[in-house]
Amino acid sequence: MEHMEYHQALRYLYGLVDYEKRRIEHYSPREFKLERVFAFMEKLGNPHRAYPTLHIAGTKGKGSVSAMLAAVAQAAGLRTALYTSPHLHTYRERIQINGEPIPRDSLAALLTEIRPAIESIEGLTLFEATTGLAFLYFARQNVDIGVIEVGLGGRLDATNVVIPEVSIITSLSLDHTHVLGSTVTEIAREKGGIIKPGVPVISAPQEPQALAVLRAIAAEQAAPLTVVGQDWTWESLHYDLEGQTMATHRVGAASDFDGRYALSLLGDFQQENAMVAIAALEALQATGHSWATPQVAHAGLKRAQWPGRMEILQRDPPIVIDCAHNPYSAQTLVHSLARWFPGIRWNLIFGSSTDKDIDGVLQALLPISEHVLVTHSYHPRATAPEVLAQKCALLDKTAEIVASPAAALELAREQLEPGQGILATGSIFLVADVRTAWGKEANLSLPLGDWEDEPW
């Protein structure tokens, strides 16, 4: 078979069934078939069994927790794989080893090699093919551990073929409701599908009905469950634009992981995420992973980075980007902004995918917004700015329609007055476009975009 170059490889991948770009009516075995994924992994030699893994599901925070755990494992000297989705600037970001995205030629060569396996399995999706490619790349690169983030849901997700050392479920709230269910109970059932027999489970604080579901699944699987907020507590000690410090406490028994931790990531929600990561590290240590120590936890959490999550592009006047895309994440963002930037009013750059609770997100963001600029990313599911402007009007806020995120950033800067900042949020795709536009002006070292050098 002819060797594909990178752009050909991407076009081939995007030609597969892509649930990220089209609306799925229901998260069911009709669309998501784990048997299909197991068959694919078998053809690849079951690469997911070649190294220990950590498996992370959740509505909010799973990317940050994954980044934190990967940073800690790397601080311990482990060759650390990280699999996440979606990406900001390049598809290669989804598949990383020690913070380095898979090289273009490696992705193209590996996809050329496994293409016959992909085509031998009817209906294999973009995410399933990418998951197999990632697991094989990690195995070939002899990683010591894989930090694996769930793509969608959990129970039927392609990543759920792994038997991890620890299963982790971050904060659950309503998102992808047309797919996963309209209550946190239904969503907890889908996310709890990653819990495996006898494998320790760490849960972030949850609503009572969601936690009840997770407890029942864990009991059924004889999986020891640790609940952050009950078995572990934390308090904020200090915060500024450089980072924040928190103190952790194991309830009922002293732990080596009790203590003060410095975090590089900003936002109140990152303290919860860090506590989840620390609880997971304690569980790892208890199951014989001697590298998981408080010392490497301190080092990793201090250096962990996760771009696009309450990321400050400029301090004065502040320009902040955040991937909040549901009401809960927007509310927590508003709370953190009030803490880190007291008294600031925001010029809001907003865009959203069509399958989100746009009204709920706007209800959280509009009260802190002075001017509102609505725009859209390149993504096929991006909501038309005219629709966003109408929704703002129904919430008694005038919004200005702007052709692109880059143009919106330029206009928002022109409109800035004393005591104001710029906030870009609502979609990871919008954030990526704003970050790219800012990066070109500020000479940020951003990875080459997938199509920037496409020889059309």
Does 289 reside within a domain? Answer: yes
Taking a C-beta distance cutoff of 8 angstroms, is the pair 310, 263 a contact? no
Q: Return the sign of the alpha-carbon dihedral for residues 216, 175, 161, 138.
A: negative
Does 38 reside within a domain? Answer: yes
284 and 358 part of one domain: no
250 and 335 part of one domain: no
Please tell me the total count of domains within the chain.
Answer: 2
Does 453 reside within a domain? Answer: no
172 and 214 part of one domain: yes
Does 34 reside within a domain? Answer: yes
Does 452 reside within a domain? Answer: no
3-state DSSP of 406-444: HHHHHHHHHHCCCCEEEEEECCHHHHHHHHHHHHHHHCC
Domain stops at, among 303, 332, 367: 303
392 and 261 part of one domain: no
25 and 118 part of one domain: yes
267 and 371 part of one domain: no
- 218-263 pLDDT per residue, tens: 999 999 999 999 999 999 999 999 999 999 999 998 999 999 999 9
Taking a C-beta distance cutoff of 8 angstroms, is the pair 3, 112 a contact? yes
What pLDDT does residue 454 have? 66
What pLDDT does residue 445 have? 79
What pLDDT does residue 216 have? 97
Domain stops at, among 275, 303, 331: 303
For 37, the domain range is 6-303
What pLDDT does residue 138 have? 98
What pLDDT does residue 186 have? 87
Taking a C-beta distance cutoff of 8 angstroms, is the pair 321, 425 a contact? yes
- 123-139 pLDDT per residue, tens: 999 999 999 999 999 99
Does 116 reside within a domain? Answer: yes
102 and 162 part of one domain: yes
Q: Which helix (H) or strand (E) holds 312?
A: strand 311-315
221 and 276 part of one domain: yes
pTM of the model: 0.93
Domain stops at, among 267, 282, 303: 303
What pLDDT does residue 262 have? 98
Q: How far apart are CA 122 and CA 276, in angstroms?
A: 38
Does 454 reside within a domain? Answer: no
The CATH number that applies at residue 361 is 3.90.190.20
47 and 77 part of one domain: yes
99 and 174 part of one domain: yes
Q: Return the sign of the alpha-carbon dihedral for residues 340, 341, 343, 346.
A: negative
What pLDDT does residue 97 have? 98
129 and 247 part of one domain: yes
- 331-384 pLDDT per residue, tens: 999 999 999 999 999 999 999 998 889 999 999 999 999 999 999 988 888 999
What pLDDT does residue 443 have? 79
Q: How far apart are CA 351 and CA 384, in angstroms?
A: 9
377 and 393 part of one domain: yes
pLDDT in tens, the chain (456 residues): 578 999 999 999 999 976 555 444 444 445 557 999 999 999 999 999 999 999 999 988 999 999 999 999 999 999 999 999 999 999 999 999 999 999 999 999 999 999 999 999 999 999 999 999 999 999 999 999 999 999 988 888 999 999 999 999 999 976 544 444 468 898 899 999 999 999 999 999 999 999 999 999 999 999 999 999 999 999 999 999 999 999 999 999 899 999 999 999 999 999 999 999 999 999 999 999 999 999 999 999 999 999 999 999 999 999 999 999 999 899 999 999 999 999 999 999 999 998 889 999 999 999 999 999 999 988 888 999 999 999 999 999 999 999 999 999 999 999 999 999 999 999 999 999 999 999 988 877 788 789 877 654
The CATH number that applies at residue 88 is 3.40.1190.10
Does 399 reside within a domain? Answer: yes
